[in-house]
Amino acid sequence: MSRPYLLVSNDDGVTAKGINFLVDTLRPVADLLVVAPDSPRSGAGCSITSVRPIHYDVLLSEPGLTVCSCSGTPVDCVKLALNVFGERRPDLVIGGINHGDNSSVNAHYSGTMGVATEGALQGYPAVAFSLCDHSPDADFSPLAPYLVDFVFKAIAAGLPPFTCLNINFPRRPRFEGVRVCRMARSRWARELSPCPHPRDDRYFWLAGDCDELEPDAPDTDRWALAHGYVAVTPTQLDVTATGLIEILRNVL
Amino acid sequence: MSRPYLLVSNDDGVTAKGINFLVDTLRPVADLLVVAPDSPRSGAGCSITSVRPIHYDVLLSEPGLTVCSCSGTPVDCVKLALNVFGERRPDLVIGGINHGDNSSVNAHYSGTMGVATEGALQGYPAVAFSLCDHSPDADFSPLAPYLVDFVFKAIAAGLPPFTCLNINFPRRPRFEGVRVCRMARSRWARELSPCPHPRDDRYFWLAGDCDELEPDAPDTDRWALAHGYVAVTPTQLDVTATGLIEILRNVL
């Protein structure tokens, strides 16, 4: 395969360790365009910026590597990259590496998955990489060989339209292997934590815990991660609940 | 049926005409808790606020109707409502009525769908209502009887876990009927519009056009809307691309 061209963004911001580890790992084997938020956008989901202009700066421009910061969301970054730097079509759009777990329902809130979703909506193969470790100084080194392998396999195999891959790595020095999974059902709970203010008791931090709804189901991403495997969850962007169509036709 | 209890939010903000029309329409037949953003959050998707506290104010508290504004996103509003005003379980979580079309891929970017998604993720039946008219002064009056009908049918029939309804109304004085649809495939294009700045050409507005990828498919939400029907798109929150699992097991 010729040297691939990769569009990379994230939600932790352009200076985060995760995205820079990804770039350092892939640069020897690929050309890269990085357009990432100028500061953290954790929990940005697929949000876009509609009420103010978005702005970018070119931080680095070398043969095979351009790095830009953008004032917008992760999805904005992908849109900007494809529209403003669109002279070469990327072979793959990559979100990450995220600092933190984007498996199960977290995918809905994840800006890293927002990058992959937008890439796929725009017609490109797309993957999101996340490490289940929120620490800014998380150790990404065990991921290196997997990143290269996933990138080349995704490009070679291709992905069907309106799909992308949500790939999560457990926090551990080595992995048991790779498992292709379905999204586990889970539910965030106890999410509002008081943020004491001297004159106002209506400030809260959003935090909480994620309750597993099917912890023993071995075909899920959560099970794979809990047992030391890399979890690959194929994700569809046509979110029609097909099985409900006929049922609702009889009800509505 | 006894008088239902409805949790309502939106992404256009608590003062928008759409949400207030919804409240006025449903108030005679239901008790309502409204927790909506203090200003517009169009394009908020399922984003959440993680780097600053969220705050709310009670704007109105009467028997059967409480209205709060919240500094956060549409999803934050639902989380806040369920955690802070959680003494009574809502029978239905409602997003909208949105000023603008949330059919097809717009569902991914929609804060109105963010409300319904969060409601369903938290285990409640949930619907999103949108009118295909961006105008702040859009005419919502043709929707009134449909809103009441959909709300009571959704509560009576229930919805399976991890699903919600994305209901879009065309902009017209009367509708041809209701169609249960799948999400049409479409793609936003030409999205970056220069925002001239006297000393910097790297400012852009996000705008563009949505290209239809299957304009003639009569089972889609876009077709229904283009032909004057109310489009009901059942939506699933388990976004696993099930058909890809076996394929990927052979590739990865």
Size of interface A-B (CB pairs under 8 A): 221
pLDDT digits (tens, 9 = 90+) for B122-176: 999 999 999 999 999 999 999 999 999 999 999 999 999 999 999 999 999 999 9
pLDDT digits (tens, 9 = 90+) for B235-252: 999 999 999 999 999 998
Quick one: average pLDDT of A96-108?
98
Quick one: average pLDDT of B47-64?
96
Whether residue B8 has pLDDT greater than 90 = yes
Quick one: average pLDDT of A66-86?
96
**CB–CB contact A45 B47 (8 Å):** yes
> Which residue in B109, B117, B165 is closest to A108 by CB distance?
B117
**CB–CB contact A50 B43 (8 Å):** yes
> What residue has token string 């990143």?
A147
pLDDT digits (tens, 9 = 90+) for A202-248: 999 999 999 999 999 999 999 999 999 999 999 999 999 999 999 99
Beta-carbon contacts of A247 under 8 Å, excluding residues fewer than 6 positions away, are none
Which residues is B196 bridged to in the sheet?
none
Whether residue B1 has pLDDT greater than 60 = no
> Which residue in A42, A80, A233 is closest to B204 by CB distance?
A80
pLDDT digits (tens, 9 = 90+) for B177-214: 999 999 999 999 999 999 999 999 999 999 999 999 99
Shortest CA gap B193–chain A (Å): 9
Quick one: average pLDDT of A84-104?
95
Write out chain B residues lying below 8 Å of A112, CB-based: none
Q: Break chain B into its structural domains and give their ranges.
A: 5-182+216-251
Angle formed by the axes of helices B74-84 and B111-121, to 10°? 40
Quick one: average pLDDT of B101-129?
98
Contact of A214 with A208, CB cutoff 8 Å: no
Predicted confidence at residue A1, as pLDDT, reads 57
Question: ∠ CA(B109), CA(A97), CA(A185), 5° rounding?
Answer: 60
| Nearest residue of A to residue B248, measured between CA atoms | A180
**CB–CB contact B252 A83 (8 Å):** no
Shortest CA gap B240–chain A (Å): 5
Shortest CA gap B192–chain A (Å): 6
**CB–CB contact B43 A47 (8 Å):** yes
Predicted confidence at residue A252, as pLDDT, reads 87
Which residues is A93 bridged to in the sheet?
A7, A126
Write out chain B residues lying below 8 Å of A245, CB-based: 180-182, 234
**β-strands A126-131, A92-99 pairing:** parallel
CATH, domain A5-182+215-251, list 3.40.50.620, 3.40.30.10, 1.10.240.10, 3.40.1210.10: 3.40.1210.10
Predicted confidence at residue B252, as pLDDT, reads 87
**pLDDT above 70 covers what percent of chain B?**
100
| Nearest residue of A to residue B155, measured between CA atoms | A251
Whether residue A28 has pLDDT greater than 60 = yes
Predicted confidence at residue B2, as pLDDT, reads 78
Quick one: average pLDDT of A174-187?
98
Largest CA distance in chain B: 63
Domain B5-182+216-251 listed as CATH 3.40.1210.10: yes
CA distance A123 to A115: 13
Q: Taken in order A245, A247, A250, B4, is the CA torsion positive or negative? A: negative
B182: tokens are: 């799948």
Question: ∠ CA(B43), CA(A232), CA(A210), 5° rounding?
Answer: 60
**Residue A121 CA from chain centroid, whole number:** 14
Contact of A232 with B252, CB cutoff 8 Å: yes
> Within an 8 Å CB–CB cutoff, is residue B84 touching chain A?
yes
